[in-house]
């Protein structure tokens, strides 16, 4: 694995809550079984105390285990799937504290605007809104002529989680696309359950798509970086949905 790839992996592990040194130790440990700390110090280039401290915390997280051989600890990485469990644990903790703090919250304004910038923020916001949607509801989407929406979520490993949440809640997607997207949308309808599309011939939205959720709309601008603008308000969402319905009725496959 190249150093650039390692650096990218380390940064993504930091986003999951590991320190840089913990991430470097864990990545260095993955190809080995039952190796000593001295080899890890050499492999990472870190000061010995940093490696010892990182190993101790990684053990607490369940990412590293050890055995005693001839009086010395030999370390092995646990499966990276353990990271998924850590995320689930954090999600449960977040739900718990959010529920507690909600009692102190002064209240959300009837209309509110939030801006999210960057790939990770875009993905996190999409999943956050999806998780708060009621079961058996629908997302109405007005297309943009780029595949960066699904490509970005897939690149960061969020597609499976997105589909799991969506299908568990039986959330439908109605997608209003452009003529240039016809072939791809036909494939998506076959591949993705609860997905339906129509083509509006005159539609052109460039690099901006619009997601209409039950109580907000999100404008996703696929520039560099991605920017998501969420406008919260049921009246606004209902107004956009009425506009969508009018276009939907004028469209066909």
pLDDT digits over 168-193, tens only?
A: 999 999 999 888 888 989 999 999 99
Q: Domain 3-82 carries which CATH code?
A: 1.10.10.10
In sequence order, what are the beta bridge partners of 199? 177, 252
CA angle 194, 190, 182 (to 5 degrees): 100
The contacts of residue 52 (CB under 8 Å, 6+ apart) are 37
Q: What is the mean pLDDT of residues 121-127?
A: 86
**DSSP code at position 32:** -
pLDDT digits over 35-86, tens only?
A: 998 999 998 999 999 999 999 999 998 999 988 888 889 999 988 888 888 8
CATH 1.10.10.10 domain range(s) in the chain: 3-82
**DSSP code at position 214:** S
Task: Specify the pLDDT at position 1.
Answer: 47
d(CA 174, CA 21): 45
What whole-number percentage of the chain has pLDDT above 70? 94
CATH 3.30.870.10 domain range(s) in the chain: 108-249
pLDDT confidence band for 2 (50 / 70 / 90): very low
Distances (CA, A) of 125 to 29, 115, 187: 33, 10, 26
- Higher pLDDT residue, 104 or 27? 27
d(CA 247, CA 177): 11
Task: Specify the pLDDT at position 5.
Answer: 52
40, 51 Cβ separation under 8 angstroms: yes
69, 34 Cβ separation under 8 angstroms: yes
What whole-number percentage of the chain has pLDDT above 90? 42
> In the structure, how many helices (H) and strands (E) does the chain have?
10, 9
Task: Specify the pLDDT at position 6.
Answer: 79
pTM of the predicted protein model: 0.60
DSSP letter for each residue of 85-121: HHHHHHHHHHHHHHHHHHTT-----SSEEEEEESHHH
pLDDT digits over 136-165, tens only?
A: 999 999 988 777 777 777 777 778 888 899
pLDDT digits over 203-233, tens only?
A: 766 788 899 999 999 999 888 888 999 998 8
Average pLDDT, the chain: 86
Task: Specify the pLDDT at position 248.
Answer: 94
User: Does position 4 have pLDDT exceeding 70, yes or no?
Assistant: no
Strands 112-117 and 195-199: unpaired
Task: Specify the pLDDT at position 105.
Answer: 66
CA 144 to chain centre: 20
φ, ψ dihedrals at 250, nearest 5°? -90, -5
In terms of CATH, what superfamily is 108-249?
Endonuclease Chain A (3.30.870.10)
Task: Specify the pLDDT at position 108.
Answer: 55
Distances (CA, A) of 232 to 40, 109, 131, 216: 49, 9, 16, 4
User: Does position 30 have pLDDT exceeding 50, yes or no?
Assistant: yes
């Amino acid at each position: 694995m190249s150093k650039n790839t390692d650096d990218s992996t380390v940064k993504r592990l930091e986003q999951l809550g590991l320190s840089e040194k913990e991430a470097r130790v864990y990545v260095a440990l993955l190809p080995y079984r039952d190796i000593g700390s001295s080899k890890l110090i050499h492999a990472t280039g870190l000061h010995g105390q940093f490696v010892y401290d990182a190993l101790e915390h990684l053990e607490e997280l369940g990412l590293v285990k050890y055995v005693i051989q001839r009086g010395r600890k030999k370390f092995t990485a646990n499966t990276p799937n353990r990271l998924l469990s850590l995320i689930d644990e954090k999600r449960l903790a977040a739900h718990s504290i959010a529920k507690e703090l909600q009692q102190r919250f002064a209240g959300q304004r009837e209309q509110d605007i939030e801006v999210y910038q960057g790939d990770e923020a875009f993905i996190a916001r999409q999943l956050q809104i999806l998780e708060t949607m009621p079961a058996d509801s629908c997302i109405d989407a007005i297309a943009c002529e780029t595949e960066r929406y699904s490509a970005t979520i897939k690149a960061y490993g969020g597609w499976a989680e997105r589909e799991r949440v969506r299908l568990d809640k039986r959330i439908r997607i109605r997608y209003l696309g452009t003529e240039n997207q016809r072939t791809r949308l036909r494939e998506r309808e076959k591949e993705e359950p609860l997905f339906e599309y129509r083509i509006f011939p005159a539609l052109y939205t460039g690099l901006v798509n619009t997601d209409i959720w039950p109580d907000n709309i999100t404008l996703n601008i696929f520039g560099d970086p991605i920017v998501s603008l969420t406008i919260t308000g049921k009246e606004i969402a209902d107004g956009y949905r009425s506009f969508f319905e009018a276009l939907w009725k004028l469209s066909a496959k």
